[in-house]
Amino acid sequence: MKFRDIELRMAPVQIGVLLFFAIFLILAFLMSGSSTILVFGIPMILGLAGIPIVLRHMSQSQYESLIPTYEREAQKVRIKAINMNMLGKPVRVEGVVERVSFGFLDRPQFLVADRSGEISVKMFTAPHEKIRKDDVVDVLGTVMKRYLLVGEDPVINCVSIRKVSGGKPDKKT
């Protein structure tokens, strides 16, 4: 279902949690026979379904509002040129997706490579289109420092990732 050009859906993990508690509610009702369980349980199940959808809409609409600013201010750079001196700067990178992880949480991470190198691209909301391994993408985002325990490499906090029409550029050699 779409609302204002934003697809409203739940992540697979959220669906699993919802189903677990729905089954738990049904079993509790069948074992006790008390309709009070349904009176309180059904609104809770609806809340478990509605809250992630509302949060997804809020985060996606916030990211959508940032895209024009990033398109205006972002510098197009090669991945090798991104370093710790660029922290907080908006950048635009084009490359090939070499790996996708955490898509089931709607917080995907991509490893994007061009001829000069590769960089981790982190999103804190789901992209508008399905991005897969070997897709050629255009990334808009901010350079940030990788989390504490993982290393000191710069990563991109992605605002927008879109497939690029046309041929696949050469991967890193």
Looking at the fold, whether 15 and 29 belong to one and the same domain comes out as yes
Looking at the fold, whether 44 and 120 belong to one and the same domain comes out as no
Q: Where is pLDDT greater, at 8 or 163? A: 163
List the Cα angle 78/104/149 in 5-degree steps.
60
Q: How many domains does the chain have?
A: 2
Confidence of residue 2 (pLDDT cuts 50, 70, 90): low
State residue 31's pLDDT score.
Answer: 93
Give 143's contacts (C-beta < 8 A, 6+ positions apart): 82, 86, 87, 88, 89, 91, 154, 155, 156, 157
Taking 60 as the threshold, does the pLDDT of residue 118 lie above it? yes
DSSP 3-state of 46: helix
The model carries a pTM of 0.74
Residue type at position 151: G
Give 118's contacts (C-beta < 8 A, 6+ positions apart): 79, 95, 98, 111, 112, 172
DSSP 3-state of 34: coil
Question: What's the Cα-to-Cα distance from 58 to each of 11, 99, 117, rounded to whole Å?
Answer: 15, 27, 34
**pLDDT digit string (tens) for 127-137?**
888 889 989 99
- Mean per-residue pLDDT over the chain, rounded: 86
Residue 169 lies in a domain: no
* CATH code for position 131: 2.40.50.140
**pLDDT digit string (tens) for 59-116?**
888 888 899 999 999 999 999 999 889 999 999 999 999 999 887 777 889 999 999 9
**pLDDT digit string (tens) for 128-162?**
888 899 899 999 999 998 776 666 789 999 999 99
**pLDDT digit string (tens) for 35-61?**
999 999 999 999 999 888 888 888 888
Residue 100 lies in a domain: yes
Chain center to CA of 13: 14
